[in-house]
Each structure stands twice: as C-alpha cells, then as structure tokens.
Structure 1
Amino acid sequence: MNDVTMNRRSFVKTAGALGALAAAGGAISAEGSLFGESSIAHADTEEQTVWQHCGVNCGGACALQCHVKDGSIEYVESDNTGSSDMNSVQVRACLRGRSIRRWLQSPDRLNYPMKRVAGTKRGEGKYERISWDEALDTIASEMKRIRSTYGDTAMYIHYASGVSSGIIAGTPVNRLFNLTGGYLKTYGSYSSAQISAAGTYTYGGGTYGSSFLTLQDNELVVMFGNSPADTRMGGGGHTWDFARMREAKNLRVICIDPRMSDTVCGQGGEWIPIVPGTDGALCAALAYQWITNDQVDTEFLHKYCVGYDEETLPEDAKGKNASYKDYILGNGADKTAKTPAWASAITKIPEQRIIELADEMAKADPVYICQGYGVERHSNGENAARCIMVLPQLLGQIGKPGTNDGRREGCNSIQAIATFPAGKNPVPDTISLYTWPDAIDHGEQMTATNAGVQGVEKLSNSIKFLFNYGGNALTNQHSDINATHELLQDESKCEFIVTSEVFMTDSAKYSDIILPDLAVQEQLDISKGGYADNDEVLFFCDPVYEPVGERRGIYEVCTDLAERLGVKDQFTEGKTREEWLRSLYEQAREKDSTLPTWEEGFKMGVYKRDTKPKLSLEKFVADPEANPLPTESGKIQIYSEKLAKFAQTWELNDGDKITALPEFDPAFDSYLDVSEEYPLLLMGFHYKAHVHSSYSNNSVLQTAALHQLWINPEDAQTRGISTGDMVSVKTERGEVRIMAKVTNRVIPGTVVMPQGMWHDADMDGDRIDKGGCINTLTRYRPTALAKANPQHSNVAQVEKVSE
C-alpha cells in the first residue's frame, strides 16, 4: 500500500487552512474571465496522493491516483495495487483517465454562477456573472411560479450521463423536485432504449446477458455491432475481460459490423462487413439455413419458447401462418423465403459466407452470441435486437456455460451499495426521454398510443421548466441540432432552463442560468466499478483539492434551493454530504459484511474482490416451471402478444412497424433510401478520444486519436478525397466540415463518424458545424416501439471542400 496516500482527514487538515486563501484568490474583477482565469493562493505543501476514479459514462470506471501539490494535480497514476499476474485485476485507466488533470485544471472551467444577458437569445452564449444568492433566488422563484401556473408535470429533469457514478451523483436534483411536487418522469436511455425494449418483450426485461467469464476453451464468439475495445477500454471495463479470455481460452471471434473495430483489428478474429441496419436480414438467413438443414433445437424451442412454430403459438395466433418458422420459410404474410441469396442482396455479405457462417454457428458447442449498442441505435433497432436474440434460442445455446442469450455481455457490481435516495415522485406521467422536444413543443398532444406515454393516457402539460445537470444532450448529444436550436430559442415554449456544468458546453449555452459544478474528482464520494464482469470494485474518493472560484457540488446547491423552497429539513434530514455517505455506506455494510470499514476503504482507495461468471437464464433453463420469466407466458417470447396488440392499436408514423415476431424491417433512412442527392449511408461510432461528449475538449486525447470521417477508398476515389482532406458531410438536416480518413476498415457505400465532438457553428449565419458533431446531421424521429434514438440511420453526401 502506498504510504503517502492521503485520506479525507489528512486532506482536510493539510488543505483546510488554504480555504480562505483559495476563496480570496479565486475572485476576479468584473472585467475578468467568467471561466478559468482565477488564481489560487497556496502554502507550500508536500505532495500528497489522492485516490479518485474516472467516472464518465464509458461503461467502465477506473482508478486514478492523483499526485497533488500546492492545490494542483502534478501527474496521475492508475491502479497499481495487487500483483501483476494475469489473474489479478487492476482497474487501470486508459488515456482518457490518465490525462484528466489537463481537463480538470483547464482554463476553460466554469467558476461562477452566470445568467443570460438581457436581450440575447438562448444559444448565443452571452452571459454575465451573478452571485450565488441571485442565481438560487431566481431558480427557486421560477420553480414556484411554473409549478403554480402549470402544475407539477411541467417540471422536467433532463437526461444526462456526464455525472454517472458515485453514491451522491445527480440524485439530489431528483430528491429536491420530488419533495416540492414531483416532475415529468422518463423511461429509456439514449444508449440502450431499443435493446432494453427488445429484451423486455423477449425475456421480460434487461439489457445484459452472460458475462465473458463464462466463455469456454476454443469456442466461437459471434458479436454483432459490439466493440468493447472502443468503448469500455480500461481495466474497469469489458475490453480487459474479453482480452484476458481471448488469450486464456483461444477463442474464435467473429465481429459483424459496418466498420472494422479495434476489437477485431490487430487482435485476431474475423471481420464480416455488413450494410448498416441490415443485421436482421442476416439473422433471418441464418435461421433459414438452420431450419432447412434440421439444425434447430426443436426440443428447446418447444419447452422454453413461444411462437417458433404452429405448435408453440398462442391460441389466438394459430391458423394464420403467424409463426417464426412460417416467416422464415416464406409462408407468412410477406411470402418471401429468407434465403442466404435474399439476405446477401441486402447485407452485401456473400451468399456463400452466410451459408458457411450458419454452419459454423450450428456446429459450435457452445457458441456465444452477443450484440452491442451499435445495432439497436438504428431506426429499426428494436426489431434488429430481437432478431439477434432469437439466434441462440434456435440453437438451444442458452443457459449452459459458454452461452449467451443474444443480448449484451453481462456485468457485475456490488449490489449492497445504494445511491442517495431520490424519494418518491408523485407524478405518474412518463415519457420516453428521447421525446422531450415533443413534450416541450406539444406535450398536451402526446398520448399512450401516439407517443408511448406511460402512467397516464395523455400528458396534461408541456415542459416549462428544465433542469440540466451534467449533461450535453440538449443539443450536442440529441438529434437534429438545428431544429432543437429553434425549439429552445422559443421562450414561449420552455420558459426557464437551468444547467449545472463544469464547462460551457453547447447545451449550456441554451440556459437562462448556469451554475459552476464541481467535477466528480473534486468531491467526496464512494463509487461502484463500471460495466465489467471480472471483479467487483468500490472507489473511495477524496476531493483532489479545495474548490476553485465559486464552484459548488450539487448536493450543497440543492440544499440551498431546498431552504428557499421550504423543504430543507426534509431534504437534508440534518445530514451533510459526508454524513449521508457514511450512513448509506454503513447500511451497505449491514447487508454485506465483507465490505471494508469506512476508514479501511479510504485508506486503501480502491477495494476489489473476485466475482463468479454470470450465466444468463441458467435457473430458467434448469427448471422453467419453478423459475418462469416475467413475460406474459413465463417463457421466452419469440412471438409477443403484447406487440401484436400494439401493432393494431398504436398510432404509428408512415413506414413505422411494430411486429409480433422478430422480423427484418429496413425502417427509415435505410439502404433503400439512398439517392443521387444522398448516396451514402452515415452512422456514428464510439471513439477513444472522448466518452460521448465528455473529454472532447481535452487536446491530449484529440491529438492521440484524430476526429475524422472514415470513408472507403472506393467512395473516396470517385470524390477525389485523400486522407487529411477537409470534407463536407451533408444530410437534409445540416452540414458538417471534418477531416477525412480513407480506409478499408469501413464498408463501401457507408461513411462513419465518431459521435460526441462538440458542435461549433455560427447559428446566426451558415450553421455549418466545424466541430464535427454528427447530431448536426441526424434525424429527430423516435423509433416505433421504444420511441428512442435512431442516430445511426442516416443518408448523406460527402464532398471534398475546395480550398
């Protein structure tokens, strides 16, 4: 253990004397910067080591040892505890976490409360410094006014993932709103709403299946649109789990993706290029081969599944050729046999390779079939996700070691740890979080059947007050930025917007008041590990230094708002942040006595323990009568009666479909929609240089991994484009200027762009985005079932920009 590790008490003792100096040194003249020009006076102190973690939403969470001197991070190490042997997990950070000091100590940090300058519009980014009292008085006043005028359902807490870890995290905002009347609730997420819906109507709920730890020697792994090496990169994420299993088990890996990802590139395995959004067609052709070659596990399908054939259909669906088998063989409504030749014309995968792949998968025992979030973020995402889930069902490759149920790889965490209590929201009205623009523009017209509203048949209000904590999804991470810009500028729609942030993001520019937040690493907290399955982790996190300027944590901000709203006693229950943390942690230790004490945890910084492989549906397969699934039948739903009913009763847009079976549906902005004007498919992907939009302003990362549009040599040649050229990418929604990367790692006819770079356009001028934000180009149109994010489905044109 490192002898110079600084626990909370020693940090306070060493740095507490600097508090008054820091506050004084943080002040600037009215003419100074509103962001990061403040200086801090410090005594000369010895270097201390502060344990923290990288807490952004990459799906991992990795340890950081911050070496701090005179109130500044000098350098960052990661996890070096335990041995270096292959079986000892070290939750080591990738470059994103290791370069965090440049991000935390950026001169562009927000330091003071600000309000939008009178007479300017949202989005212009013109603000003036105000006091905390003025900021909080104004927010509290607007909360009271809007509640009394429009009702509780006019209040909204926006989706955000920039603060995605810790016991405290962002729930103080939810608690405050619940204590003062509640707010319009949401379901789903920008990341996984479609696969979650698919899992709900197939297995009764859930996004995750079996862990990588269940993989067996020499088995076949087939991954659809999944690249943990690009997303969950560090030692606290799945890429380490998978890399270790590949080395130890000698796995055969096949990645099916429009882009050759880092999970297959340089690591072995096979890349099968596929046209974006056509995974469902490939799945149907694989099923055709298995059915016609008598390779399906009929016994498994009859015992555990509903809807495979006539025998297993619900009674009201029988006699209509409505089974999955009928659909595949061409006896269903579309009268089309889903042969490999049929699928090859759609997917551009050679017919012979489809036939060979089907045979490989059928003969593999076990075979692990999984999908990432790339497939489900298309306009047909729910059906595509269901199409992949049916594959292991057909082969009976569920519930035994080395298998998965077709969902995303599983993960583990310490279950006893509870988050800060938000309390009960008395408002029943619930929308898909992706549909918030509709709830601002015409909330009263949104119903259960036309917009997927839950809890009530119809919304009673539009959103009038919006609180955005640690999120960049007002614009940057939401579809069709240009349209959203118009909506948010109209103050007759949403009347008041508050953002609490660490930087002036593009979304923050649409706020009426901006509050300077403390980053995760600047606050006391305890956090669970990320989406990994090889360990269970807790991070005991001290603040790396005293607050700079007037930055404040969200718990303390909400405490002051609660006082102004008359609910402080109920909000705090007499506890400080630390007292809440201690109380919640002791509750966890009562449930799990193996956890270290508070003092032990903060001394070690990171607590790790081994975990067991997670095998999806193991108990159900062992005894389906004793362990039924939470579906309408208690079994796996290949055919869903609920979806059949939705298809008949919901009001859908032209071209939208909800199907009882997992059918291939191209949906909108697919390969069928390319034209002379927009001849290319465009999709986004997660990239090493940022996590969504977090860290996009870290120059170290942007230098290490350039933000470029990937284009196949065939498409580049016809356009006279070379690597390094500046290109224009256009859709019906807008235009982006970005550097080109000519590479064979993307299928011809498709271009791919990393998602998450910050939008940068003259919104009063040509609106051409020079920041490279893909959501300048994406369509805002919720998907049919989950009412969710289809941002990978776009048709576009790319041209070289003339000098």
Structure 2
Amino acid sequence: MTVQISNSGLSRRSFMKWSGVAGGTTALVATAAHLGMPGTAPAYAADGMEGVDSTVWNACTVNCGSRCPLRLQVKDGVVVRVLPDNTGDDADFGNHNILACIRGRTMRQRIYSPDRLKKPMRRVAGTKRGEGEFEEISWETAFDEIAERMKSTIDNYGNDALYINNGTGTTGGNILHRRLLWRFMDAAGGSLQPLRNYSNAAYIVAGTYQHGASIGTNSTEDAANSNLLVMFGANLIETRMSGGGEMYSYQHLKETHGTRIIVIDPRYSETALTIADEWVPIRPGTDTALVAALVNVMVKEGLQDQEFLDKYCVGFDEDTLPDSAEENSSYRAYVEGKGPDGIEKTPEWASDITGIPASRIRALAREIGSTKPCAISSGWGMQRQAAGENQSRAVFTLAAVTGNIGISGGGNGAWPTSYAMPVPNFPDLDKPITVGIPVFKWSDAVDHGEEFTAEKDGVEGAERLVNPIKFMINYAGQCIMNQHADPARITEILQDENKLETLVVIDTHLTPTAKMADYLLPDAMSIEQPDLIKNENSAETGYAIYAQPAIQPPGDAMRVYDMCTEILERVNPEFAQKFTEGKTQEQWVSSLYEQARDDMPELPSEEEFKELGVIRQRNPDGFTIPMKEFRDDPEANPLKTPSGKIEIYSERLAEMSKTWVFPEGLAGQKVTAVPEHIDAWEGALEARESGEFPLQCINHHTKGRTHSTYWEQPWSKEAHPQKVWINPADAEKRGITMDDPVRVKGNRGALDSKAFVTPRIAPGVISVPQGAWYTPNDEGIDEGACASTLASLVSSNIAKGNTQQSIIANIKKLG
C-alpha cells in the first residue's frame, strides 16, 4: 500500500525534490508483550497511519555506519510501531528507500527493554566494580559527587589524568553527540586524547605511512566502471545491510553491470554469498603472503604496471629506494627472494601459509594483473591482527603494482569512500592537551600509564605520559568490557581502586560495561531527543535526518548534553558557559542546520526539514575517485608522505624499526619498511604447530546486532542465535555436529556456545560472532559467548590497535 507523509506547507516541487515519491511499507504492530507493559495493545490500521497520535521522524544510530531513518508512531506516549523510510523511489537508484534493517526495526524492544536505565545510581560502598550492586541517588547528588571527583583528579594529578573512553553508535552519525564529551573535557581544561578507534586503527596508520593519510578507495558505485572487483575481507553486504549502507549499491552494481567480483576471506560471508562470482578462502592474517606471491607472479610474467611504479612510487624497485635504504630492501627484492630472508615468495611458498592452492594463486595473479581497470579494496577485519598494518599495506601495494590508483573503475586498495552532505558537526573547542594514546591502550594506561612511552606504547605529542588514567567517562559504548579484549583481566585492573579512581558510565542500558561503573547515569535514547543525523556510508548519495523526540525518556533519564552542563557548572561555571555558549540542545540543532543552509541555500527551511524528515543529495561531482589529482599531476598534487609519492618502502618505518620496543616472548613483534608477511603471535603458523590450540579463531559481524547493540532484543536472538562457525572437517575430528553445545578455549579464557557446522568457513578456522554480552559464570566461563573473552590485550605492531583476530583456540563438545 502506498503511504504519503504529511507535507502541509510545502510546495510539490520542494517535497519531490528532497523526498522523492512515497514508497510502500509493511507495518510491524506492537503488542503488550513487546512493550513490556501490561494489558492488550490496541489494534492499529495495517497501513501504519491510523489510530495513532503522531508519526515522528528519528533514526537508528547504532555504529553500523548507515544511520537509517525511522518513522516512530506514538499512541498515549508509547511508541507502538516502527516504520521505515517511505520517501524514496526504488525505480530511481540514488533516490531509493532508505530501509532500516532488522536491527532498526526492533527499536521498540530496545526502547522498552528490561535492561533500560531509568535512575542515576552509585555503586554500593564495599562492593566491587562489576558486581552490579547499585543504589539510586538524586541527580543533584550525582552531579555534586562527580564534579568533586573531577576537581580532585585535576588538583592531584592534572587534566591529563582524565580520559574519555571510546564510544560508538551515538557518537557516530549524530551531529550534536559526535564530539560532545570531548568538548565537555576541553571546556574543563582538556584530557588525555584517544587516538584512532577500534574499527580500523592499523588500517589508518598503514594509510598514513603509505599514502600520507588514510585515504579511502573509489566509491562503491564507481565499480560500475570496473571489469573486476577484488575484495579482501570486506563484508559490507552484512555490516551495512540497509538502505542506508553500501549493500544497496553493491546489489545494484551486480544487477545492472555484472561486474565480476572475487571475495578473499576466511569465511564465506554474506557478501561472498550474495554478490561474489568466486570465494577464495584464506587463513587469517596471511593476506600479506598472498599479495607477495601475486606480485611475484606478476613480476615474472611482466604484468606489473612498471610505468606507474617508476613515476608514482617509492621503493618497489631498487632504483626508487631512498638513499638511506640498504641494498635489496625494496619490495621487489623481498618478493624475489633477494632480501635479508633469502626466500622467494612463490605461490608454493604462499600456499603453505595461506591454505590457497598454488595454481589458484597463479591464476588469480594473472587475472588481477591483466584486467583493467581492476578495483581492489579491503575490509577492516583483516587488519585487527598482530601485524595488521602490514596486512593493509600489502593490499595498498597490490593496487599500486597493478597501476589502478587514481583512475575510474580502479582503486587504491582501501575501504570505499562515500559522499556525505556538508552538515557541520557540533564544533570542537581548542584542545588544551594534545598528548594522546591509542584507544586500545587505555587499560594499560590505567594499569601502568606512568611507564608509557612513544616508542613502546605509541604515545603521541610527548615522549612519555606523566600520569596514569585516574578518572574516566565511558559514554555510549562497550569498549571497556565487551568490545575491548580479555574482560577477565580488565575486571582485575578495574577492581583495583588504587589505579582508576573514578569510572562514570553514561548509557541507556545496563550493559556489562555499565556494571563496572562507580556512577551510572541514564541517558535519553536518540529517539527521545532532537539531533541532526547524517549518513556517511551510502556511496554517492548523502542524506540527513531531522531527528525529533518521539517520546519522553523513561523515569529520570536525562539527555547527556544537560548532564555535561550540570557537571561543568559545579566544576566551574565558566567551563559550562564555554561548553554551551549559552545555547540549549534545541538551539544548537537549529544553529548547526542554519550553518548548513548558509553553505547550501537550496536546502529546505528548518520547519520544512522537520516535516520531510529526511533529505537526500547526490554527489555533485559524480563518482569519487581518490588520488585522481595525484595521478594527473604528482608534482602539483603531491601526497602527504615525506617523498610526496606512494611509499611502498617507508623510510620512516625503517627508522622506527631500529628504536621501537616490543614485549618479549611474542613472535612477529617488529616494524618493517615494506609490507612483509610476518608470522606473528597466535597466527596461522602458531595454530598449526600448537598442540593445545590448533585452530585460528576469528570473529565476525552478525545481522542480529551491531557490535553489542541490540544483543538483548528477543527478536534478534531468535532470528540470529549465537553460534560458533566450524568447518565440517574440524567438527568431525571432534565429534561435533550441528547445534551441539561446545566450549571454545584459548590462552586467556573460555566461552560456551553452540556449534554451527558449515563449509562456509576455511578449515583450521573457527569464528565467534562478535558483540554478544560478556556473562561469566562462577567458574569464569563466559556463557554469553563474547568473542572478546578470547582476545589479547597485546596491541598491533605500529598503530597499537586492537588485535581481536589474532587468537588461537580449540573447541570441544560439551556433555
């Protein structure tokens, strides 16, 4: 059935321009059980428009990157129905319906979850962090005590002992909330800075050294101009599976252009299943070896783009090495076996490491090397490894060797770029403190931050830290317990109150991280407050959503903007004025949108935008082709590397390799000037040689949740139950069949789950869907099956990023 949203006061031209034609929709009707409320839910019309008090535009803002619009229907102050966008036209690609996926469509269950936080609370005196013993307190008490602890930390240690823990979801597409807590800290004199993020830390650093910055590859839609698309570990069909993500673009690409697609991944992902012509299963952490063998074949058969390498790159050949480099330290020397290790990187050599037959490696090299243009891209899972930086750099190098950089239909080997509407974010303040640590190192900075140095721990802005972290705020994230690593060890660190003195958690639900709090502050959900939300992951169509409160927050829940204001008023009223600039949250939203209209006068008025709910804009420049200007004229448009070129050999990394310090006793802890393959700790080699833990264990995203968000929803659990993927050959050896209860054990912990026996995962590899909530029993076994239970706190070699894909383990049947 076709439904027309209200457009009173809008001209037909304005409405059609920004919203498109109304689309069809299927309503999901609320029941009393779904709402967690007594009584019987009233019957509402199937078209989703009758029998309600209002229909309000807002969005699902979890950290998948899509930010899909939702129409929330309200009756008597209760959200009774969640409807998707109805303003697009599926016949017109780029103006398609921005349909929310199963996650966003279960928003009601998240709103009315029994885990929802409604009162400010304080940990009960005498109990330990993590025991979940809290007492209700007033907001006045919470603000007074938190402000006093914050002032005490500043007085006793300095502002550099304050820290904001990395958050996700709400700090993603929400314009106001994206940098809100950092602005809060900067208004109070600053804090220790978090560097990069949990998603792609090694990838960012790899791009910085190779390309001068973390530059994305050509947009998804530009692959329509490709004759071949090669994806290393990218699974955007599943992680971005809504109308607001790249899934729609890839499906459109396949349906309309038939571009040949090869997916290289340890798991036969939804992307491989849905759009790929071929799946190449590979052992985790061995993409560097595969790329070296591919290049070896290309060089032998003259398939490399030598003209491109000579003109635009440093260090592929000996002739383009910097003067400081030693003989035979080029990447070509490495793959030809002329480097220090003396091993030629043949397909046979790579086959033993990767598990891919040598004949397939040769065929793949010939296909990639002879097909122009060829779009090469990489996902982020492959770089969450001990040597993750080299994983990304290797794929970047393959794109350079084939000469596909800076051209339509090609790519530089990175993550696809997308167009975003130029709507400004809540502005940052000047940063009084510029010293920072990698986000994954926060737990070490709590435990022994006074020992942190630049060359050992990746400190930036100073040679070393002065203080450990003493006061921390975690906002809208699970990057303390659930999405970090080794939660058993994190519990030990946080329960020592001589280390971290204050932990404030601001969230909407009682998560495993929330249970660690000293002060637990209930935030309003995004659907309960105003904001501007923009999408940044839908290829060449950018859009923005005017989010309006659909209902009041439950109980005493409060908007975080108001919490920050109240705390700063108590620390120093001047800080609060600096933070708010005298504006309410509503006034900031209006102000930021008016700034956008100053730059784009054709945007509708704010009142029109409120009624439209969502506005779209196609990229006015057409397809995004990063590094095109560099390719067109490298002299006039140099990269931000020291040489101004693509540095396959990095002189900076060569120098770092001489001075950086690594933990003892772990394999593969080193920095290399070219993207060598490194047999790192808990990698493919160690798994095959280990008697106790012979399997590599990775983790993958699942359709039922985004990281740990939506984990508690009954519908999500029913549709996508937590199960460990295992290859039939590995299952047979262990007597495991489908749905058997199993225990996965590694070097740091163990979890219980059920088995999913499938040929869709490479032999020797198991995969635990990530994001399940950490739920240890009395024996320390995680009954929630959180993948991070098995992960190490040892960071990657250069970025000091998280390494959740570097795990060796074993699995056995229970009972």
Q: TM-score range by the shorter chain?
A: over 0.9
Instruction: Work out which of the residue numbers 719, 728, 731 in structure 1 matches 2:746.
Output: 731
For residues 419-454 of structure 1, what are the alpha-carbon distances to aligned partners after superposition, in whole Å with 9 as ceiling and x for unaligned? 212312211321011000111111111011111100
Contact between 1:153 and 1:427, CA under 8 Å: does it hold in 2? yes
Match of 1:787 in 2: 800
Cα offset for 1:248?
A: 1.1
Cα offset for 1:364?
A: 0.7
Q: Which runs of 5+ in 1 are unaligned?
A: 8-34
For residues 737-768 of structure 1, what are the alpha-carbon distances to aligned partners after superposition, in whole Å with 9 as ceiling and x for unaligned? 00110000001111001100001113xx2111
> Which stretch of structure 1 is more off in the superposition, 517-526 or 652-661?
652-661
Instruction: Work out which of the residue numbers 333, 350, 354 in structure 1 matches 2:357.
Output: 350
Instruction: Work out which of the residue numbers 206, 217, 241 in structure 2 matches 1:233.
Output: 241
2:636 counterpart of 1:630: no
Match of 1:28 in 2: none
2:538 counterpart of 1:525: no
For residues 166-221 of structure 1, what are the alpha-carbon distances to aligned partners after superposition, in whole Å with 9 as ceiling and x for unaligned? 12115332222112111001211100001111100010111521101112357111
Cα offset for 1:227?
A: 0.7
Match of 2:338 in 1: 331
Contact between 2:226 and 2:374, CA under 8 Å: does it hold in 1? no
2:717 counterpart of 1:702: yes
The whole-number CA distance in structure 1 between the counterparts of 2:592 and 2:38 is 36
Contact between 1:713 and 1:743, CA under 8 Å: does it hold in 2? yes
Match of 1:439 in 2: 445
> Which stretch of structure 1 is more off in the superposition, 727-736 or 669-678?
669-678
The whole-number CA distance in structure 1 between the counterparts of 2:8 and 2:101 is 23
Instruction: Work out which of the residue numbers 546, 550, 555 in structure 1 matches 2:556.
Output: 550
Contact between 2:455 and 2:661, CA under 8 Å: does it hold in 1? yes
For residues 208-248 of structure 1, what are the alpha-carbon distances to aligned partners after superposition, in whole Å with 9 as ceiling and x for unaligned? 21101112357111110101011011011111111111111
Contact between 2:261 and 2:275, CA under 8 Å: does it hold in 1? no
Contact between 2:230 and 2:263, CA under 8 Å: does it hold in 1? yes
Task: Report 1:350-499 matches (<5 A).
Answer: 350-415=357-422, 417-499=423-505
Cα offset for 1:6?
A: 11
Instruction: Work out which of the residue numbers 577, 583, 593 in structure 1 matches 2:585.
Output: 577
The whole-number CA distance in structure 2 between the counterparts of 1:99 and 1:481 is 28
For residues 45-78 of structure 1, what are the alpha-carbon distances to aligned partners after superposition, in whole Å with 9 as ceiling and x for unaligned? 9431111111111021211111111111111111
2:282 counterpart of 1:274: yes
Match of 2:19 in 1: none
The whole-number CA distance in structure 2 between the counterparts of 1:473 and 1:305 is 38
2:303 counterpart of 1:303: no
Change beyond 3 A, Cα 1:218–1:297:
closer
Contact between 1:217 and 1:250, CA under 8 Å: does it hold in 2? no
2:510 counterpart of 1:504: yes
For residues 522-570 of structure 1, what are the alpha-carbon distances to aligned partners after superposition, in whole Å with 9 as ceiling and x for unaligned? 1101111131213010001111112221111111111111211222222
> Which stretch of structure 1 is more off in the superposition, 64-73 or 585-594?
585-594
For residues 250-308 of structure 1, what are the alpha-carbon distances to aligned partners after superposition, in whole Å with 9 as ceiling and x for unaligned? 11111000100011214441111111111110000000000011111111101000001
Contact between 1:5 and 1:50, CA under 8 Å: does it hold in 2? no
2:262 counterpart of 1:247: no
SS at match of 2:104: helix
Cα offset for 1:3?
A: 4.4
The whole-number CA distance in structure 2 between the counterparts of 1:174 and 1:228 is 30
Contact between 1:117 and 1:128, CA under 8 Å: does it hold in 2? yes
Contact between 1:5 and 1:48, CA under 8 Å: does it hold in 2? no
Task: Report 1:596-635 matches (<5 A).
Answer: 596-611=604-619, 612-635=622-645
Change beyond 3 A, Cα 1:161–1:532:
same
Instruction: Work out which of the residue numbers 318, 322, 329 in structure 2 matches 1:322.
Output: 329
Contact between 2:741 and 2:753, CA under 8 Å: does it hold in 1? yes
Match of 1:260 in 2: 268
Cα offset for 1:158?
A: 0.5
Change beyond 3 A, Cα 1:334–1:6:
farther
Cα offset for 1:138?
A: 0.7
Letter in 2 for 1:458: R
The whole-number CA distance in structure 2 between the counterparts of 1:50 and 1:666 is 54
Letter in 1 for 2:373: P
Letter in 1 for 2:638: P
Q: Runs of 4 or more off by more than 6 Å in structure 1?
A: 35-39
For residues 759-803 of structure 1, what are the alpha-carbon distances to aligned partners after superposition, in whole Å with 9 as ceiling and x for unaligned? 1113xx21110001011111110111000111011110100011x
Letter in 2 for 1:653: P
Letter in 2 for 1:78: P
2:161 counterpart of 1:161: no
The whole-number CA distance in structure 2 between the counterparts of 1:322 and 1:71 is 68
Q: Which runs of 5+ in 2 are unaligned?
A: 10-34, 43-49
Q: CA RMSD for the aligned pairs?
A: 1.8
Match of 1:12 in 2: none
Scaled by the length of structure 1, the TM-score of the pair is 0.94
Contact between 2:699 and 2:767, CA under 8 Å: does it hold in 1? yes
SS at match of 2:79: strand
Match of 1:641 in 2: 651
2:766 counterpart of 1:751: yes
The whole-number CA distance in structure 2 between the counterparts of 1:126 and 1:542 is 35
For residues 112-132 of structure 1, what are the alpha-carbon distances to aligned partners after superposition, in whole Å with 9 as ceiling and x for unaligned? 000111111000001111111
Contact between 2:374 and 2:404, CA under 8 Å: does it hold in 1? yes
Cα offset for 1:38?
A: 12
Match of 2:30 in 1: none
The whole-number CA distance in structure 1 between the counterparts of 2:7 and 2:133 is 43
Task: Report 1:19-168 matches (<5 A).
Answer: 46-87=52-93, 88-163=95-170, 164-168=172-176
SS at match of 1:664: coil
Cα offset for 1:594?
A: 2.8
Q: Percent identical across equivalent pairs? A: 40
Match of 2:12 in 1: none
Contact between 1:371 and 1:388, CA under 8 Å: does it hold in 2? yes
Match of 2:15 in 1: none
